[in-house]
Amino acid sequence: MVTFAILASVAVIGALGVVLLRQPIHAALSLVGTLLTLAVLFVTLQAHFLAAIQVIVYGGAIMVLFLFVIMLLNIEHERKEVQPWLRWAAYGVGLVAATGLIVGAMLDPRQAPDHAVVRDTLQGGHPRLIAEVLYGEFMLAFQLVGVLLLTGMVGAVALVQRPRPQRTSAMIDERRKERASDALEAGGR
Amino acid sequence: MDSLLATFVKALLLAAALLGAFAYMTLIERRLLGRMQHRHGPNRTGPFGLLQPIADALKSVFKEDIIVSKADKFVYVLAPLISITFALSAFGAIPGGPAGSLFGYDPWVLDLDIGLLYVLAVTSIGVYGIFLGGWAANSKYALLGSLRSSAQIISYELGLGLSVLSVIMIAGTLNLREIVEMGIWGVSPLLWPPLAIAFGAFVISAIAEVNRTPFDLPEAEQEIVAGYLTEYSGLKWALYQMAEYVNMMTAAAFISTLFLGGYRGPAFLDQWIPGISEWPIVWLVAKMAIFMFLFIWLRATLPRLRYDQLMRFGWLYLFEVALGATLLTGAVIAFVL
């Protein structure tokens, strides 16, 4: 329980850092910290496989790409002044959402399962168990998610593709003239 | 299972051994490169230059530790620490011998069911060291180096992951010790071609992952000074060097463990010296030495790839070849065996 309290507070502090830190790189690093803390939480539940996947996918791939994009765009100096009313509206919405979450959790009659129960259900988060669920029960969903990701990727490639340079008639005329003068020169020799 | 104290002592010993090996690998590398390039290499400090690493270490400690004034100080200091921490922790999951063979103790620090994924996960976090170091130094060369390194490591992780899949499919486990014990080459001769392809793809990806020539673009000194290392000096620079060599050793040990039987020695030697193939650590170190030599040999032989060649090779050839090996392995297992 003490471990959980420490890890949970580190995760929450990291998550707050993502929102509150001004420097985008620091915010992204803070998110990495949160994700790694979550992985450690999985380890305390003996779900080693989930923890490793969490680190590989989120820590090793997704966040590196995040940082890559932040560094590439170099957005650290873009600090726009926001409308004052927008800031207050954001505070309000955040407050309402947080209160809703806490009240919802308090009103929920279900008891949070015991640490031991969670651990037994996960059964060490063994890859074989996860594979059976993922490729058995949720096969269709799994495939659909794959198609969705592919669509997203194709869309991203389509978005960044530069339009082909249009050949205007003026350009073609110019090239024809060039070619004609080249031919004249060659003939003159 | 060993007690917590024994595990702790083993972890300390492993870290010390890795760092000691790092110091002497620098000497071995420079001497070998010297030989391959028809020059002497360091041979003045002590017999055969054996005291050179100590002199280098002292130099690094006493050098002025410069923190660039425009640097992001926190990240600048954090980055080399990330590199060395994750480099050292990755090696812990690699088994060095059969259970209980090291004076009654197990010759590994961690025996995880997901040992293979653990090594991949920890090494993939190590990229943050290079990446953040280059950014925090606030210099264009360092930034270019770190952008290159992240793109390269992400690209070659695909080849690495896909070529590992063949081994996982054959072994049916992610536990490195069990992979070594079952001996993946002994399952069926039909699996040899895909395994050989996967082995080749894995070695190439591993070299790219540890940023060695011909894939050392993050620190290409003719183009971007020294890449992410440009603004580092003294101890922090030494930490990066340590991380690079420890990563090389982890890669060598990982390749040996996955594809070459790890800590197991050739069994025919047992008829002369009984039990020699079961000796802990010896065989793993011997196999690692072969790959370390290969890395140095490649550095003396091959020119560096251009950036577009690197990307094309990774995405258009290595990725497809590794995928092909995976499909072939799957097909053999599903339809023939």
Shortest Cα distance from B276 to chain A (angstroms)? 34
- Give dist(CA B228, CA B149) in Å, integer: 9
Tokens 């799957």 identify what position? B330
Question: How many angstroms separate the Cα of B316 from the Cα of each of A155, B156, B158, B194, B320?
Answer: 21, 11, 12, 19, 6
Which range is least confidently modeled, A19-23, A182-186, B29-33, B307-311? A182-186
**B255 neighbors B292 (Cβ within 8 angstroms):** no
Q: Are residues A110 and A158 in the same domain?
A: no
Q: Are residues A15 and A106 in the same domain?
A: yes
Query: What is the per-residue pLDDT for A96?
Result: 94
Tokens 């536990």 identify what position? B175
Residues in contact with B248: Cβ distance below 8 Å, sequence separation at least 6, in sequence order: B25, B210, B212, B292, B295
**B314 neighbors B226 (Cβ within 8 angstroms):** no
Question: How many angstroms separate the Cα of A45 from the Cα of each of A55, A114, A130, A167, B119?
Answer: 15, 11, 15, 63, 20
CA torsion sign for B172, B178, B181, B184 is positive
Residue A138 counted as domain residue: yes
Residue A106 counted as domain residue: yes
Provide, as residue numbers in chain A, all residues whose Cβ is less than 8 Å from the Cβ of B154: 61, 64-65, 68
In chain B, the percentage of residues whose pLDDT exceeds 70 is 97
Q: Hey, of B111, B150, B160, which one would you mutate to test binding to chain A, going by the most A CBs within 10 A of its CB? A: B150
Provide, as residue numbers in chain A, all residues whose Cβ is less than 8 Å from the Cβ of B157: 60-61
Q: Are residues A58 and A132 in the same domain?
A: no
Contact B147 A59 (CB under 8 A): no
List the single residue in B72, B114, B124 with the smallest CB-CB distance to A49.
B114
Indicate the average pLDDT of chain B: 83
**B25 neighbors B253 (Cβ within 8 angstroms):** no
The residue range of the domain holding A138 is 127-164
Residue A88 counted as domain residue: no
Given its phi and psi angles, is residue B64 left (phi above 0), alpha (psi -120 to 50 degrees) or beta?
Answer: beta
Query: What is the per-residue pLDDT for A88?
Result: 86
Q: Are residues A135 and A72 in the same domain?
A: no
Query: What is the per-residue pLDDT for A97?
Result: 92
Q: Are residues A120 and A154 in the same domain?
A: no
**B325 neighbors B237 (Cβ within 8 angstroms):** no
**B150 neighbors A68 (Cβ within 8 angstroms):** yes
Q: Are residues A38 and A101 in the same domain?
A: yes
Contact B124 A60 (CB under 8 A): yes
Q: Is A126 on the interface with B (CB under 8 A)?
A: yes
Q: Are residues A25 and A102 in the same domain?
A: yes
Q: What average pLDDT does this structure show over B34-42?
A: 86
Shortest Cα distance from A89 to chain B (angstroms)? 33
φ/ψ of B102, rounded to 5, equals -100, 85
Shortest Cα distance from B148 to chain A (angstroms)? 10
Residue A178 counted as domain residue: no
Provide, as residue numbers in chain B, all residues whose Cβ is less than 8 Å from the Cβ of A56: 117, 120-121, 124
Better-predicted residue by pLDDT, B193 or A75? B193
Q: Are residues A107 and A133 in the same domain?
A: no
Q: How many angstroms from the chain centroid is the CA of residue B307?
A: 22
Q: Are residues A103 and A66 in the same domain?
A: yes
Residue A99 counted as domain residue: yes
Q: Is A45 on the interface with B (CB under 8 A)?
A: no
**B157 neighbors B209 (Cβ within 8 angstroms):** yes
Angle B134-B154-A160 from CA coordinates, rounded to 5°: 90
Query: What is the per-residue pLDDT for A167?
Result: 63
Q: Is A55 on the interface with B (CB under 8 A)?
A: yes
Query: What is the DSSP code string of B65-103?
Result: ----TTS-HHHHHHHHHHHHHHHHHHGGGS--SSTTTBT
Residue A104 counted as domain residue: yes
**Could you give the angle at which helices A24-44 and B115-136 cross, rounded to 10 degrees?**
160
A107-121, B39-53, B198-212, B271-285, range with greatest mean pLDDT: B198-212
**B242 neighbors B24 (Cβ within 8 angstroms):** no
- Whichever domain contains A47, its CATH number is 1.20.120.1200
Q: Are residues A8 and A99 in the same domain?
A: yes
Better-predicted residue by pLDDT, A170 or B122? B122
| Residues recorded for chain B | 337
Contact A55 B124 (CB under 8 A): yes
Closest CA to B56 of B256, B265, B318, B241: B241
Q: Are residues A26 and A113 in the same domain?
A: yes
Domain count, chain A: 2
Residue A87 counted as domain residue: no
Using one digit for the tens of pLDDT, what is the confidence trace for B104-116? 677 777 777 788 8
**B43 neighbors B33 (Cβ within 8 angstroms):** no
Helix (H, G, I), strand (E, B) or coil at B105: strand
Helix (H, G, I), strand (E, B) or coil at A8: helix
Q: Are residues A22 and A99 in the same domain?
A: yes
Provide, as residue numbers in chain B, all residues whose Cβ is less than 8 Å from the Cβ of A59: 121, 124-125
| ipTM, interface predicted TM-score of the complex | 0.76
Closest CA to B132 of A5, A118, A24, A144: A24
Provide, as residue numbers in chain B, all residues whose Cβ is less than 8 Å from the Cβ of A127: 114, 174
**B321 neighbors B197 (Cβ within 8 angstroms):** yes
- Two tokens at B70? 């425009």
How many interchain CB pairs under 8 A, A with B? 68
Query: What is the per-residue pLDDT for A188?
Result: 53
Neighbours of A92 (CB within 10 A): 10
- Give dist(CA A103, CA A42) in Å, integer: 26
Question: How many angstroms separate the Cα of B215 from the Cα of each of B142, B200, B211, B248, B289?
Answer: 17, 16, 6, 13, 20
CA-based nearest residue in chain B for residue A54: B121
- Give dist(CA B80, CA B117) in Å, integer: 23
Residue A173 counted as domain residue: no
Closest CA to B156 of B144, B168, B164: B164
Q: Is the pLDDT of residue B299 over 70?
A: yes
Query: What is the DSSP code string of B166-186?
Result: HHHHHH----HHHHHHH-GGG
Helix (H, G, I), strand (E, B) or coil at A112: coil
**B55 neighbors B61 (Cβ within 8 angstroms):** no
Provide, as residue numbers in chain A, all residues whose Cβ is less than 8 Å from the Cβ of B158: none
φ/ψ of B105, rounded to 5, equals -100, 160
Residue ranges in chain A whose pLDDT is less than 70: 74-81, 112, 115, 119, 121-125, 164-168, 170, 184-189
Residues in contact with B32: Cβ distance below 8 Å, sequence separation at least 6, in sequence order: B41, B293, B296, B297, B300
Q: What average pLDDT does this structure show over B10-31?
A: 86
Contact A48 B112 (CB under 8 A): yes
